């Protein structure tokens, strides 16, 4: 009888432990997905910044060429 009660109590403790582990694993997967999305966003922002920097350098070079004294007669 005592063993049956003990097994019942252990079963009552084991099931919530399994649920907690499953919830923890799901939260970890969700966190990993959010981190991957954040990394993708950061990479896109870095690429956009590089494009902007390249465009700004090209515009500065064009402005410098246009204002060159050799081109003004």
- Provide the whole-model pTM: 0.58
Q: List the one residue out of 22, 23, 69, 18 whose CA is nearest residue 10.
A: 18
Encode pLDDT of 7-19 as tens digits.
Answer: 787 778 778 888 8
pLDDT surpasses 90 at 52: yes
Distance, in Å, from the CA atom of 1 to the CA atom of 14, rounded to the nearest integer, reads 20
Concatenated DSSP letters of the chain: -HHHHHHHHHHHHHHHHHHHHHHHHHHHHHHHHHHHHHHHHHHHHHHHHHHHHHHHHHHHHHHHHHT-TTT--
């Amino acid at each position: 009888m005592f063993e049956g009660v003990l097994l019942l109590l252990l079963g009552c403790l084991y099931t919530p432990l399994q649920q907690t582990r499953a919830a923890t694993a799901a939260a970890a997967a969700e966190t990993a997905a959010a981190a991957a999305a954040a990394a993708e966003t950061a990479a896109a922002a870095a690429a956009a910044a590089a494009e902007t920097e390249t465009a700004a350098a090209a515009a500065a070079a064009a402005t410098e060429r246009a204002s060159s004294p050799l081109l003004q007669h």
